Chain A
């Protein structure tokens, strides 16, 4: 199906483990983003990417790694999970044309619990 999909939908892991959250979009949008959402903080930007092989840090990048070898995929890796990384993670994509097309399309989210 066309759109933006995230996997897994739910994940439970232990502190210190490596976890990878997957994000795939079928629109060939240039821009992709990873946000985390916690109570009282809204959506905070972790990393973003303007195109394949171009990534940049957002507001809260510590403890996360991203890659974008193909336009359609933007995986997010927690190298050594900590309890503070328990959150809901949203992937989003956008064509990113100024004043023309800046609306974000979101995946369904991944609820991650780090025990």
Chain B
């Protein structure tokens, strides 16, 4: 089992819809969770992070965390074509020293 798993997609949603991106992780001791966005040919950039169970909202983005189910998600409301990118779920790990483990990423297409 991979440490961080995501559905690779592609996920296609119409403009204005809600895009839902999901991620599961294997280390029950994980405390923080990050979402990065990566446009084609560019480097990843941080969108959001979440530490506590529940929801965290930032503009059109909402991160949801359920530690009991080892599940974290990212909702994008009112999706725009400019949201078309790959979304990477990332989980810091402190086993054997601090490092961040990434999922394979989910490709999102928002159709105008």
Q: Chain A residues in contact with chain B, CB under 8 A?
A: 31, 33, 35, 40-45, 48, 50, 56, 58, 90, 92, 94, 96, 98-99, 102-104, 106-109
Partner-binding segment picked from B14-22, B60-68, B71-79, B100-108:
B100-108
CB distance from A71 to the nearest CB of B (A): 15
Q: Chain B residues in contact with chain A, CB under 8 A?
A: 6, 8, 31-32, 34, 36, 42-46, 49, 51, 88, 90, 92, 94, 96-105
Assess whether B90 is in contact with A50, with CB atoms less than 8 Å apart. no
* Inter-chain contacts of B103 with A (CB < 8 A): 42
User: Contact partner of B43 among A44, A45, A96, A107, CB < 8 A?
Assistant: A107
CB distance from B93 to the nearest CB of A (A): 10
* Inter-chain contacts of B31 with A (CB < 8 A): 98-99
Assess whether B96 is in contact with A43, with CB atoms less than 8 Å apart. no
Interface centre among A33, A92, A102, A109 (most CB of B within 10 A): A102
Assess whether B94 is in contact with A42, with CB atoms less than 8 Å apart. no
Interface centre among B31, B43, B88, B94 (most CB of A within 10 A): B43
Assess whether A103 is in contact with B49, with CB atoms less than 8 Å apart. yes
